[in-house]
A and B are shown apart, each in its own frame.
Chain A
């Protein structure tokens, strides 16, 4: 009896060490990046002798950077809308139904999430050219939407599977036909899942480099622009842009996580 708590405590300290090592491993590069964005020198490295907001004011004054930001957000929003529509529709079709080939259908639905980005990007490029689709916003939105659909399907299906059958039956019993039942009972129930999936899709699209690079026209998305800037060397402006993007995505992600968790608890 006496040994076991000791052993347990030892384990806990060990586990805590591993945890904090992991935190350092994840956050040190991010912290470095953020710090360099405030350093009053083009040279990246320590020591930092004086601080500045110069890089930030530069970035925010640069209309090209701002329009790229907007372009990336527009792509993210459009592709998310499409993924949500298609993904929710597929989830509703697949969940709780038994038909021949359901497993195959489900597998095919998930495939776009599993194909390596570079391969799907090249495939899209070839396909787009064959169809005569010009590289640019449309092509990127299309590729992002296809890539994100599986995530929507998974999240929405998981939520749908927890909807008690009696809810649907109660609505029918009270006079609602299947369509009204879907709109007034099923859809409101899916809202937390759809919101969560939307945020996830927005972030995935905003962050995507490979597909945007291969399918983009003359106008770069944010990651593509950063990549282009990098070719002329690392600069504090990149740190500033990346920090803004980091804060934005982290804030949205955290808010969404809290929000969906609260909604799930309420319903």
Chain B
């Protein structure tokens, strides 16, 4: 964000579809070489942003500056931007090599140059032996790579990726995530990735922008979003979490003291300090809860009883009914051995101040 000349500058982008507001005054910069992911549920405005960047939609208001030039009203064919489509959109009547060369031909390159560049990109993506095949003869993963090769071939300043992993099966998806990240690192290209899959976003991105109802909920690194969600929406959307609703009791330095059904809990203060007595929600990640047999020396500790266990392989999900608090359930991940040891005796659950993020809404 401090880059004096970002690759993309989005200014006050607003898009209405009839009565619906798809994007509401979006402003942000994208730095060169960044892997930025727009994450959110369907209809949050992430795809609209992508389509505006690609030139397929015009914003109702606002501007898009690419490399210092206003491209808001430029048609897609004039932009130094290429896209990997959700359905890959490979041309079925062309071979893999022809698909990849398509963009190069239209750039007015010579035949030899096209051949050289297309061979280069095909071998870069380990597709060299598939050049003469047709898309129908390829597997899903191969098609996805061809789509990527085709979009990278014209050497775009910005690469747009529209949920390109959605059509792959779970196993392949994990592999392709690593691959994409490594391709982005090796090419030093700026990737603008759109997805509704939080896991995908966390694994690949340098930066995640969480959108909801056309507005930015939070903009930060995967770690920031995961451990310090700014809002209840982000906390719930990314990963699994315990949400504890209570009232503000007071402040200690940068901490908030809250009352949760008579228990006193301490967590990191959110931006904008809530006043005493105001309702507040805290988020604690499942893997941050620790089990103790005695009351631990921790700022947050509650006593309860394990009422449910689910074996998940490397770990176990525990459900804890907190003593003296009706309807208050905590969920926690522990390693399988610890999980097996815990019986029906009362247990103490403790967690640190850092592990608890206070949320404004």
Binding site for B on A (CB under 8 A): 164, 166-167, 169-177, 180, 184-185, 188-189, 266-267
**27 A-B pairs, CB-CB below 8 angstroms?**
A166-B87, A166-B89, A169-B54, A169-B56, A169-B76, A169-B85, A169-B89, A170-B85, A170-B89, A170-B150, A171-B91, A171-B102, A172-B76, A172-B77, A173-B55, A173-B76, A173-B82, A173-B83, A174-B102, A174-B103, A174-B151, A175-B103, A175-B106, A175-B107, A176-B77, A176-B102, A180-B106
CA A176 – CA B106 in complex, angstroms? 6
| Interfacial chain B residues near A185, Cβ < 8 Å | 91
CA A79 – CA B311 in complex, angstroms? 73
| Interfacial chain A residues near B151, Cβ < 8 Å | 173-174
CA A180 – CA B107 in complex, angstroms? 13
Question: Does B154 reach chain A (CB closer than 8 Å)?
Answer: yes
CA A28 – CA B93 in complex, angstroms? 44
A174: contacting residue among B56, B82, B86, CB under 8 A: B82
B83: contacting residue among A170, A180, A267, CB under 8 A: A170
Where chain A touches its partner, the secondary structure class is helix
CA A171 – CA B107 in complex, angstroms? 12
Question: Does B136 reach chain A (CB closer than 8 Å)?
Answer: yes
| Interfacial chain A residues near B77, Cβ < 8 Å | 172-177
Can you list, as one digit per residue, whether each of B99-140 has a CB less than 8 Å from chain A (1) or not (0)?
000110011000000000000000000000000000010000
CA A253 – CA B89 in complex, angstroms? 33
CA A189 – CA B85 in complex, angstroms? 19
Cβ-closest chain A residue relative to B156 = A173
| Interfacial chain B residues near A164, Cβ < 8 Å | 87, 89
| Most chain B CB inside 10 Å of its own CB: which residue of A167, A173, A175, A177 | A173
Question: Does B75 reach chain A (CB closer than 8 Å)?
Answer: yes
| Interfacial chain B residues near A180, Cβ < 8 Å | 106
CA A195 – CA B361 in complex, angstroms? 62
CB proximity of A202 to chain B, nearest CB, Å: 24
| Interfacial chain B residues near A174, Cβ < 8 Å | 77, 82, 102-103, 106, 150-151, 154
CB proximity of A157 to chain B, nearest CB, Å: 19
Known: A167-B91, A169-B54, A175-B106. 8 other contacts (CB 8 A): A170-B85, A171-B91, A173-B55, A173-B81, A174-B77, A176-B102, A176-B106, A177-B77
A166: contacting residue among B85, B102, B103, B107, CB under 8 A: B85
| Most chain A CB inside 10 Å of its own CB: which residue of B54, B75, B102 | B102
Q: Across the interface, do A175 and B154 meet the contact criterion of CB distance under 8 Å? A: yes
CA A174 – CA B85 in complex, angstroms? 12
Q: Across the interface, do A170 and B75 meet the contact criterion of CB distance under 8 Å? A: no
Can you list, as one digit per residue, whether each of B71-101 has a CB less than 8 Å from chain A (1) or not (0)?
0000111000111011101111100000000
| Most chain A CB inside 10 Å of its own CB: which residue of B86, B91, B151 | B91
CB proximity of B117 to chain A, nearest CB, Å: 13
CA A267 – CA B92 in complex, angstroms? 6
On whether A172 and B89 interact (CB within 8 A), knowing A180-B106, A266-B136, the answer reads no
Q: Across the interface, do A172 and B154 meet the contact criterion of CB distance under 8 Å? A: no
Cβ-closest chain B residue relative to A174 = B103
Cβ-closest chain A residue relative to B103 = A174
Cβ-closest chain A residue relative to B86 = A166
On whether A167 and B89 interact (CB within 8 A), knowing A174-B102, A175-B107, A177-B77, the answer reads yes
| Interfacial chain A residues near B136, Cβ < 8 Å | 266-267
| Interfacial chain A residues near B150, Cβ < 8 Å | 170, 174
Q: Which of B235-273 contact A (CB under 8 A)?
A: none
CA A170 – CA B91 in complex, angstroms? 9
Q: Which of B41-63 contact A (CB under 8 A)?
A: 54-56
Cβ-closest chain A residue relative to B135 = A267
On whether A172 and B87 interact (CB within 8 A), knowing A180-B106, A188-B93, A266-B136, the answer reads no
Q: Across the interface, do A189 and B89 meet the contact criterion of CB distance under 8 Å? A: no
Q: Across the interface, do B93 and A267 meet the contact criterion of CB distance under 8 Å? A: yes
Cβ-closest chain A residue relative to B81 = A173
CA A177 – CA B262 in complex, angstroms? 67
CA A95 – CA B318 in complex, angstroms? 57
| Interfacial chain A residues near B86, Cβ < 8 Å | 166
| Most chain B CB inside 10 Å of its own CB: which residue of A174, A175, A176 | A174
CA A112 – CA B23 in complex, angstroms? 47
CA A184 – CA B77 in complex, angstroms? 15
Which 8 pairs show the lowest CB-CB distances between chains A and B? A175-B106, A174-B103, A166-B89, A170-B89, A172-B76, A188-B93, A166-B85, A267-B92
On whether A172 and B91 interact (CB within 8 A), knowing A166-B85, A166-B86, the answer reads no
CA A170 – CA B89 in complex, angstroms? 6
Can you list, as one digit per residue, whether each of B149-192 has a CB less than 8 Å from chain A (1) or not (0)?
01100100000000000000000000000000000000000000
CB proximity of B256 to chain A, nearest CB, Å: 48
| Interfacial chain B residues near A166, Cβ < 8 Å | 85-87, 89
| Interfacial chain B residues near A184, Cβ < 8 Å | 102
Cβ-closest chain B residue relative to A175 = B106
| Interfacial chain A residues near B154, Cβ < 8 Å | 174-175
CA A174 – CA B56 in complex, angstroms? 13
| Most chain A CB inside 10 Å of its own CB: which residue of B56, B77, B82, B85 | B77
| Interfacial chain A residues near B89, Cβ < 8 Å | 164, 166-167, 169-170
| Interfacial chain A residues near B54, Cβ < 8 Å | 169, 173
CB proximity of A169 to chain B, nearest CB, Å: 6
Cβ-closest chain B residue relative to A166 = B89
CA A177 – CA B55 in complex, angstroms? 13
CA A88 – CA B77 in complex, angstroms? 25
CA A174 – CA B83 in complex, angstroms? 8
CB proximity of B73 to chain A, nearest CB, Å: 15
CB proximity of B322 to chain A, nearest CB, Å: 51
